[in-house]
Amino acid sequence: MAYWEMEQKGAVLVVSYNNPPMNYLVGAAFQEFQEELMPACEDPSVRAIVLQGKPKGLFMTHFSVEELLAMSEAGAMKGADASIMTQGHQRWSALEKLSKPVVAALTGSAMGGGYEQSLGCDIRIAERGDYRIGLPEANLGILPGGTGLTRLTRLIGASNAINIILRGLVFKPDEALRLGRVHEVVDDARARALEIAQSLAAKSPTAMAVIKKAIYEGAESSFDEALLLEGQGFIDCMSSEEALAAMKEYVAIPFEERQAWLDEKAANI
């Protein structure tokens, strides 16, 4: 593959984006991701995924402005309606739709399309450093069109999102953590993301799949519809062999030792 590299570490698939010198996202990389990487991500032997940048100090800086400019100059969007974006949005949403958890390791700038790609992951781990995270598209006369506008609004609410997106604001890692745009800031994002992914890979794949489905689909549904998803997810989990085995293990433990068991299961998270 021209832009992506894969390495399987046990039940975790580490996916690295490599487009030096700036690690800009490009359209061809999405085509490659959909056709070659997604089948690998869906392999049953893969229980969790880490998404990271390959070059040192870079995640996915942003989508190539050169490519966007060429599209604009060619009149590629003139006369088009929003339906033209449907296929693109499906590619941006591919990781969220997976039935297994995805952890993003932000080791450098994650702006525009790069941050949108991380928003499609379940957990975002940022590395300490002098780089930026955010959606600066308004400064270029456009808007975040790769699911970022909608995802960020649902993540932090309309009032916060409109302030950030209208002004094209970007943030250092600690500011992004304070605003709830990443989940952790650490010294080594790759190592921490792998640690979390390995812990998730050890959990019930049925539970991981139905939790993702219930949360993401439920967030877009009415309260009553979300409760139906939650209820069906509970039934699906209770019917799984993994849940039966885990509950049997738990009830076999003396009462006074059960908290330690739960602590150990959550220790790497």
In this predicted structure, the answer to whether residue 260 has a pLDDT above a threshold of 80 is: yes
Length of the chain: 269
In this predicted structure, the answer to whether residue 264 has a pLDDT above a threshold of 90 is: no
Q: Which of 137, 225, 241, 256 is catalytic?
A: 137
Cβ-Cβ contacts under 8 Å for 128 (sequence gap 6 or more): 173, 174, 185, 186, 187
β-bridge partners, 170: 134
Indicate the helix (H) or strand (E) that contains 94: helix 94-97
**CATH 3.90.226.10 assigned to 4-201:** yes
In this predicted structure, the answer to whether residue 152 has a pLDDT above a threshold of 70 is: yes
103 burial class (0-12, 13-18, 19+ CB within 10 angstroms)?
Answer: buried
For the question of residue 32 being annotated catalytic, the response is no
Predicted pLDDT at 246:
94
Mean pLDDT confidence for 74-95: 81
Neighbours of 31 (CB within 10 A): 12
Across the chain, what does the average pLDDT equal?
A: 93
For the question of residue 116 being annotated catalytic, the response is yes
CB 23 within 8 A of CB 54: yes
**Angstrom distance (rounded) from CA 226 to CA 94:** 21
In this predicted structure, the answer to whether residue 81 has a pLDDT above a threshold of 80 is: no
Phi then psi for 25, rounded to 5 degrees? -75, 145
Residue 145 in 3-state DSSP? coil
Q: Could you tell me the pLDDT band of residue 269, with boundaries at 50, 70 and 90?
A: low
Residue 48's closest CA among 106, 119, 98?
98
Taking only the tens place, the pLDDT of each residue in 199-252 is 999 999 999 999 999 999 999 899 999 999 999 999 999 999 999 999 999 999
Mean pLDDT confidence for 96-102: 96
Q: Could you tell me the pLDDT band of residue 89, with boundaries at 50, 70 and 90?
A: confident
Beta strands in the chain (DSSP E): 4-9, 12-17, 48-53, 102-106, 110-111, 123-127, 133-134, 170-171, 184-186
Predicted pLDDT at 203:
94
Predicted pLDDT at 268:
59
Which two three-digit tokens encode residue 203? 């959990």
In this predicted structure, the answer to whether residue 87 has a pLDDT above a threshold of 80 is: no
Residue 114's closest CA among 216, 17, 43, 48?
17
Q: Which of 116, 195, 230, 256 is catalytic?
A: 116
Phi then psi for 105, rounded to 5 degrees? -105, 105
